[in-house]
C-alpha cells in the first residue's frame, strides 16, 4: 500500500478512543442548516402529524451522523463510514421520503435504482473516496448525492406499483451485497485515509475494511430485503382482504 499521508477530512483528524467523547462537530453552518430545515418544514411543510414525525426523526439522525462524535469516528474507521453511508441511504432517505407526499418522480423506479447504485459504487472507488476525505466540497458532494439519490429511489419505490417497488429494493439489496462481499473478501486495504487510524482501535486496516464489507453485506443489504418483504406483505394482505 502507498505511504500514509496526513488526512484531515471534514469531521476532523482521526481520533483515538480516549478522545472520541469530546469530538463533537460544532460547525455553525451545518447546525444552522439543520435548524433551518426543521423550521422551514414546520412553517411551510405538511401539517400531517406522521409526516412531521418522519422529518424530525430524519433530522435527529442527521445530527447523530454529522454533529455527534460518530462523525469523528468515521475519520478513523472505514467500518464506521460504512455505517454512516448505510444510515444515510437506508434510514434518513426513507424517513425523508415518508415525510413527503406520494408522487411519481421523473424517471421512475428503474432509473433511480440504477442512478443510486452507480452513485454508491462511485463514491467507494478509492480515488473518489480519498478525494472526499481531503476536500470539504467533495465530501459534501459525496454525502449529498448519496442522500438525494437515495431519497429519489425511496420516493420512486413508494410511487411505483408493488412489483416495481419490490424489484427496485431487491436490485439495490443485490448491489449493496456485492460491494459488501468485495470488501469482505479483499486481501489488501484499499483506502489510504484508513491505513493507520484503525490500529488505535484494535483493528488492522484490512480487518476494518472487511468489517465494513460485512456491515454492508448483512445489515445494509438486509434493510432493503426487509423493506421489500414489508411491501410484499402489505400487498398480500390487501389482496386477501379484497378476495
Q: What is the pLDDT of residues 47-87, one digit of tens each?
A: 788 888 999 999 999 999 999 999 999 999 999 999 999 99
User: Position of cell 447546525?
Assistant: 31
Total count of domains within the chain: 1
- Say whether pLDDT at 243 is over 70: no
DSSP state at residue 67: T
User: Position of cell 407526499?
Assistant: 101
Q: Which three cell numbers stand for residue 101?
A: 407526499
CA–CA separation, 157 and 94 (whole Å): 10
27 part of a folded domain: no
What is the domain extent for residue 218? 76-92+104-242
9 part of a folded domain: no
Q: What angle do CA 86, 91, 94 make, to 5 degrees?
A: 120
User: Position of cell 466540497?
Assistant: 137
12 part of a folded domain: no
Q: What is the pLDDT of residues 17-51, one digit of tens each?
A: 999 999 999 999 999 999 998 888 777 666 788 88
59 part of a folded domain: no
Amino acid at each position: 500500500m502507498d505511504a500514509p499521508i496526513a488526512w484531515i477530512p471534514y469531521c476532523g483528524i482521526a481520533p483515538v478512543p480516549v478522545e472520541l467523547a469530546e469530538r463533537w462537530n460544532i460547525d455553525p453552518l451545518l447546525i444552522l442548516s439543520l435548524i433551518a430545515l426543521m423550521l422551514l418544514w414546520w412553517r411551510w411543510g405538511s401539517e400531517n402529524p406522521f409526516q412531521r414525525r418522519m422529518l424530525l426523526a430524519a433530522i435527529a439522525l442527521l445530527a447523530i451522523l454529522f454533529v455527534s462524535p460518530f462523525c469523528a469516528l468515521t475519520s478513523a474507521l472505514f467500518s464506521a463510514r460504512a455505517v454512516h453511508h448505510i444510515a444515510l441511504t437506508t434510514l434518513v432517505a426513507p424517513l425523508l421520503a415518508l415525510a413527503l407526499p406520494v408522487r411519481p418522480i421523473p424517471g421512475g423506479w428503474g432509473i433511480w435504482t440504477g442512478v443510486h447504485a452507480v452513485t454508491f459504487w462511485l463514491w467507494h472507488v478509492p480515488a473518489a473516496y480519498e478525494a472526499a476525505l481531503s476536500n470539504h466540497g467533495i465530501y459534501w458532494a459525496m454525502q449529498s448525492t448519496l442522500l438525494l439519490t437515495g431519497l429519489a429511489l425511496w420516493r420512486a419505490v413508494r410511487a411505483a406499483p408493488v412489483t416495481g417497488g419490490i424489484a427496485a429494493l431487491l436490485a439495490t439489496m443485490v448491489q449493496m451485497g456485492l460491494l459488501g462481499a468485495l470488501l469482505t473478501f479483499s486481501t489488501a486495504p484499499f483506502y489510504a485515509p484508513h491505513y493507520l487510524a484503525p490500529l488505535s482501535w484494535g483493528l488492522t486496516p484490512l480487518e476494518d475494511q472487511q468489517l465494513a464489507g460485512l456491515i454492508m453485506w448483512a445489515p445494509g443489504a438486509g434493510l432493503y430485503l426487509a423493506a421489500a418483504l414489508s411491501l410484499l406483505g402489505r400487498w398480500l394482505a390487501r389482496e386477501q382482504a379484497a378476495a
